[in-house]
Amino acid sequence: MTTLTDNPISSQNTSNYQSINPNDGTTMESFPTLTSAELEDKLATAQSCFSIWKTTTYPERAAVLSKAAELMRASVDDFARLATLEMGKRFAEAQGEVEFSANILDYYATNSEAFLQPVTLQPAAGEGHMEASPFGLVFCVEPWNFPYYQLARVAGPQLMAGNTLVVKHAGCVPQCAVAFEKLLLDAGAPTGAYTNLAISHAQSDLVIEDPRVKGVALTGSVRAGRSIAARAGANLKKSTMELGGSDAFIVLEDADLVRTIPWAVWGRMYNAGQTCCAAKRFIALEPIADEFLEKFTAALSAQKVGDPMDVTTTHGPLSSESALLDLIEQVDRAVAHGATLLMGGKRIDRPGWFMETTILTDIAPDNPAFREEFFGPVVCFYRVANEDEAVALANDSDFGLGGSVFTRDVERAKRIASRIDTGMVFINSIDWSDAELPFGGIKDSGYGRELGNMGIQEFVNWKLVRTHDIDAPE
């Protein structure tokens, strides 16, 4: 069999993985990409591990995941500090992410055996059942914005299903990537069950094409999704794609603004706005639009910019200078095409990668901003005449990840939710994710689901076994 060491494209060993503190721009540590020989060794080890790991029992796998969750909770601040230093997440948010990641690992340790029990069928004659078995080696490509949660939500279900994982994490969070791999090893996972790969994009393509890899999971941009999904498809490999979003936040005329405004602020500013399912397009019905915008603007203006390690900070930095510059360019382009800049739009004059909280209004359908995702503290505000216009505007998007509806009439909100073309809709809150709830979208937001019972089904083979004692046809 041809191995990765036979291909010169994977021979590089450069420093594509760097920890740079977004709060002040200082480089903390650099990590080289793997050589061809190192990558081949890791893939071979992961494949060898699968032959053993798939034969372990659910309780044996659960013991590893439960221990990993225990270790995460025992070192919440240590894990959280790494996330804050590497990608600028406010420390309190990072602590919450670590806790949630541990909950995910525990959830699958507890529930996976029940999720994958054989299913008895009732054929017209004879008997039959479906039984689950793991695919094998799964390649995961994960982003920086939730450096532990993104890993936990593939590691939890797929390790419990009996798969082994090789994972390319984002280049700006290498210490978080190393820490998560070490966590699982410390918890008793065999070498090769979960493997961190510091590899280049060219090497990533080779991993997808490697015949030992049986499935591909990506969380990332639409551009990355198109590239990776195409390569996986060309190699007839199952893939899941969790991509971008431009979620609508619909405010009906009877919304309780005392409750709605805090959710609007949180929905846009959590993780400095760098969340795929963040509230990004704020759609208010005309009778309440002025009051909502006035109070929302005041609440956003009250955000405190500062060091993300400072517990009083409510507005932290973006993850990188390129992310900051790209976002400013998007805002400038939107204004050049006719949008009104109500507030913000500029870099904050301080060290690090901070951007002013920004509000854009008067965004016409021919403005590039109407179709784009703003991955940062930028609000796109729209006013509409009625409920039907709100739904039509919410659906007039290339994305279809999530959305939310705020009203005192919950039944009305449920009817609207049924009309919105997304993978998720939230009513009177934006409670995005629980371990037991499936997460994912449609359209350019991708396909497949993570978390819940659906998350563990993505890379298992449900085999039909039928018994029917009859003579062969003549």
Report pLDDT for 16: 84
Task: Say yes or no to pLDDT of 6 above 80.
Answer: no
Catalytic residue among 49, 172, 276, 380: 276
Asked if 283 and 172 sit in the same domain, the reply is no
Asked if 263 and 375 sit in the same domain, the reply is yes
Report pLDDT for 4: 58
Which residues form the domain of 196? 4-243+445-464
Asked if 214 and 301 sit in the same domain, the reply is no
Task: Say yes or no to pLDDT of 9 above 90.
Answer: no
Asked if 229 and 258 sit in the same domain, the reply is no
Asked if 225 and 370 sit in the same domain, the reply is no
Report pLDDT for 251: 98
Asked if 128 and 100 sit in the same domain, the reply is yes
Total domains present in the chain: 2
Q: How many helices (H) and strands (E) does the chain have?
A: 14, 20
Asked if 305 and 237 sit in the same domain, the reply is no
Asked if 378 and 322 sit in the same domain, the reply is yes
- Give the model's confidence band at 1: pLDDT under 50 very low, under 70 low, under 90 confident, else very high: very low
Asked if 214 and 123 sit in the same domain, the reply is yes
Would you state the structure tokens that stand for residue 229, as one six-digit string? 């999904």
Asked if 230 and 325 sit in the same domain, the reply is no
Report pLDDT for 432: 79
Would you state the structure tokens that stand for residue 395, as one six-digit string? 């659906």
Q: What's the CA dihedral at 92, 98, 103, 105 to 10 degrees?
A: 170
Report pLDDT for 12: 43
- Give the model's confidence band at 98: pLDDT under 50 very low, under 70 low, under 90 confident, else very high: very high
Percent of the chain exceeding pLDDT 90 equals 96
Task: Say yes or no to pLDDT of 11 above 50.
Answer: no
Q: Does the annotation count 277 as an active-site position?
A: no
Token pair 């959830």 in the structure block, residue: 107
Q: Is residue 437 part of a domain?
A: no
Catalytic residue among 97, 242, 356, 458: 242
Q: What is the mean pLDDT of the chain?
A: 96
The answer to whether residues 379 and 401 touch, using CB atoms and an 8 Å cutoff, is: no
Asked if 203 and 266 sit in the same domain, the reply is no
Q: Is residue 472 part of a domain?
A: no
Segment 37-54 mean pLDDT: 98
Q: Is residue 435 part of a domain?
A: no
Q: In this predicted model, what pLDDT tens digit does every residue of 168-207 receive, in sequence order? A: 999 999 999 999 999 999 999 999 999 999 999 999 999 9
CATH code: domain of residue 34: 3.40.605.10
Report pLDDT for 278: 96
Q: Is residue 473 part of a domain?
A: no
- Give the model's confidence band at 420: pLDDT under 50 very low, under 70 low, under 90 confident, else very high: very high
Segment 344-367 mean pLDDT: 98
Q: Is residue 439 part of a domain?
A: no
Q: Which of the residue ranges 11-20, 152-161, 314-323, 421-430 would you say has the lowest mean pLDDT?
A: 11-20
CATH code: domain of residue 388: 3.40.309.10
Q: Detail the DSSP E strand segments found in 256-408.
A: 279-285, 340-343, 358-361, 378-384, 399-400, 403-406
The burial of 133, by beta-carbon neighbours within 10 Å (0-12 exposed, 13-18 middle, 19 or more buried), is given as middle
DSSP β-ladder status, 213-219 and 403-406: unpaired
The answer to whether residues 260 and 288 touch, using CB atoms and an 8 Å cutoff, is: no
Q: In this predicted model, what pLDDT tens digit does every residue of 231-260 receive, in sequence order? A: 999 999 999 999 999 999 999 999 999 999
Report pLDDT for 7: 47
Q: Does the annotation count 276 as an active-site position?
A: yes
Q: Write out the H or E segment, with its range, that includes residue 46.
A: helix 36-53
Q: In this predicted model, what pLDDT tens digit does every residue of 273-303 receive, in sequence order? A: 999 999 999 999 999 999 999 999 999 999 9
Asked if 415 and 454 sit in the same domain, the reply is no
Task: Say yes or no to pLDDT of 13 above 90.
Answer: no
- For helices 58-74 and 91-115, the axis angle rounded to 10 degrees is 170
- Give the model's confidence band at 3: pLDDT under 50 very low, under 70 low, under 90 confident, else very high: low
Segment 352-379 mean pLDDT: 98
Q: Is residue 207 part of a domain?
A: yes
Q: Is residue 231 part of a domain?
A: yes
Report pLDDT for 260: 98
Q: Is residue 313 part of a domain?
A: yes
